[in-house]
Structure 1
Amino acid sequence: MLDGKTAVVTGGSSGIGRAIAQKYAAEGAAVVIGDQKEEPRRAELPTVETIEKEGGEATFVSTDVTEYQDVVDLVEVADREYGSVDIMVNNAGILQQTLLHETSSEQWEELMDINVTGVFHGSKAAIQKMLEQDSGGNIVNISSISGSIGRANAPAYCTSKGAVTMMTRQNAIDYGPKGIRVNAVGPGGTLTSMVYETMSEERREYLEMQTPLRRLAEPDEIAEVATFLASDMASYVNGHVLFADGGFSIS
C-alpha cells in the first residue's frame, strides 16, 4: 500500500506513533522516527529494531518537536537516507488533565509547545520539502475527538487538539492545489502507555461503558486509519478528521 514511500513519524518510539511506524513499514514504506528517546515507554524493543527484525527499513533521529531546527534535520535525514519525504505523521503529543483554574502557565505552555507548535514545525518542514520535490505528499496529523467534542478536566489538551484539527483543515485548503493532502485521525480512548500513566482504572472503565463498542482502541487500530489516509485509497480525501473512537462521539 505504501511501497516506495518515505514516511516521517514524530513520537514514534511509543504508543500510537510506534504502531503507525510499524504499520507503514509493513506496508512497504521506509520510516524515519523522530522522538526524544529511542526506548519505548514500556518494556519492548526500540521501534527501529522491531521494524528491522520484520524486514523493514527504519531510522531513528533524536528530535525535540518544539525546536524547529530539530524537525528540519529530521526531514533532511529522511530525504538524504531514502531520497524523498512522501508522508509526514505529526503524532508527538502529551496529555494533561487539570482543571483550568489549577493549570499553571508553565503547564499550558509546555502542552501547547508540544501538541500545537510541534505540529506546526512538522507540517512546515515537510511541506517545504514536498514543494521542493514537486511530487505532492501527505500530512497525517494525530488530533483527537477531544478537539471537537471536548473532554472533562482537560482544557489545555482539548484546546491543543482543536488547534490541530483546524490546522489540518486550513492547510488542506492551501496545499491541496500543490498535490499535498492534509488529513487527521481523531482517536478516542486508546490503550497507550500515556493513558495507563495518566488515567485511573475507574476512568478507563467509565470510558469503555460510554463507548458503543464497550472497549478502548488498541494502537494498531489507529495505525490502520493513519495508513488509509496516507495511501492512494484515500486519494480524494483532503482536510478530513477521521474519528476512530468506537462511536464514543455519537453516544
Structure 2
Amino acid sequence: MTRRRAVVTGASSGIGRATAVVLAREGFDVAIGYRVDADAAGRTAAEVGDAGGRAVTFTLDHTDPGGAASAVDRAADELGGVDVFVNNAGVNRRAAFLDETLDGWTRLLAVDLTGPFACAQAMARRLVAQGTGGRIVNVTSVHERIPIDGGSAYCAAKGGLLMLTRVMALELAPYGITVNAVAPGETATPMNGVPEHLDAGEIDRPMIPVGRPGRAAEVAALVGHLASEAAAYITGSTLHIDGGLALMGAIPNQAYAGRT
C-alpha cells in the first residue's frame, strides 16, 4: 500500500509531536514543522521513524506568513504531495486588555491566525490541484469561545481560526476536503511549562471537572481520528478535548492556573 502524507506544523514537541507519531502509526509519512529547535524536531523524526513512517523536517515562522506558506508547500514537495495538513503551530501569551500593545497584538495574530491562514490556503490549493480530496485540521483552543482574563489577542486569534475553519469547510467540501478544528483545554506540554517526563495525571487542576490537564497523546488521538477515513462525514466542526473545562464558562486568571 502507498503510504499517505501528512504535514504537521509545530511538531517539535507537545501536541504536534504526538500527532506526528500517531499519524505515522496510522500509515503516514510526516513532514515535521518547527521554528528554532532542530534537535527537538529530530527527536520527533526519530519517533516517526520508530512508528514506521518516513520523516522530513522543515522550518517555518508564522511571523512571516508568506514564508510559512512557502515552507509547508516545499515540505509537501519533499513528501511527494499531501493528504492531511495539521495546522498546529502557535503561541500562548496573556496580556491585560488595557496593557496590550499594538505590536504584541499584531505579532500574536500573525502567529495564531494569519500564519495558519496562509499555510492552510497553500495546502488547500495543493489538495485541490491533486484532485484527491484530503483533510485539514486546525488546532484552536477552548478559548476560541470562552474568554479568559488577559486573552484579548489570544481569544481573538483562536476565535478567528474557528470561523476560518467553518468557511474553509464550506468552500472546500465540493473538492472532497474536510476541515475541522480540535480545541484543547489545558494540555500538559513543554509550551505550557510542563516537562516532558511529567504525566498529566500528576497535576492537580480543581477548576477542570476531571481534575487534571490533558495529555498531548489524547489530543493527538482526536486529530488522528479526524484524519482517518472513519471521519469522512465530519466537516466544519470543532471538537473540544478539555476534560469538561468548557462547562465552566468564563475563567478568571486567579482561579485558573493552567494554560491551553
- Length-normalised TM-score, structure 1: 0.89
Instruction: Output the CA distance in 2 between the equivalents of 1:239 and 1:75.
Output: 23
The aligned amino acid for 1:237 is I
Instruction: Output the CA distance in 1 between the equivalents of 2:126 and 2:74.
Output: 8
Deviation at 1:27, TM superposition (A): 1.4
Runs of 4+ with >4 A deviation: none
How many pairs does the alignment contain? 239
Alpha-carbon contact 1:64-1:71 (below 8 Å) kept: no
Identity %: 35
CA-to-aligned-CA distance 1:36-71 (integer Å, 9 cap, x gap): 12233xxx9621122224432110011123332342
1:98 is matched with which residue? 95
Give the counterpart of 2:72 among 71, 74, 80.
74
Instruction: Output the CA distance in 2 between the equivalents of 1:70 and 1:189.
Output: 26
CA-to-aligned-CA distance 1:122-181 (integer Å, 9 cap, x gap): 111001100110111111000011011122221111111000100001110011111110
Unaligned runs of 5+ residues in structure 2 are: 195-201, 249-260
1:65-144 correspondence runs (5 A)? 65=62, 66-78=64-76, 80-144=77-141
1:48 is matched with which residue? 45
Give the counterpart of 1:60 among 57, 60, 70.
57
Does 2:157 align with 1:160?
Answer: yes
User: RMSD of the alignment, in Å?
Assistant: 2.0
1:2-41 correspondence runs (5 A)? 4-37=3-36, 38-40=38-40
Instruction: Output the CA distance in 2 between the equivalents of 1:64 and 1:46.
Output: 20
Q: Secondary structure of the residue that 2:193 maps to in structure 1? A: helix
Instruction: Output the CA distance in 2 between the equivalents of 1:206 and 1:5.
Output: 36
Deviation at 1:3, TM superposition (A): 7.1
- Length-normalised TM-score, structure 2: 0.86
Unaligned runs of 5+ residues in structure 1 are: 198-204
1:150-229 correspondence runs (5 A)? 150-196=147-193, 208-229=205-226
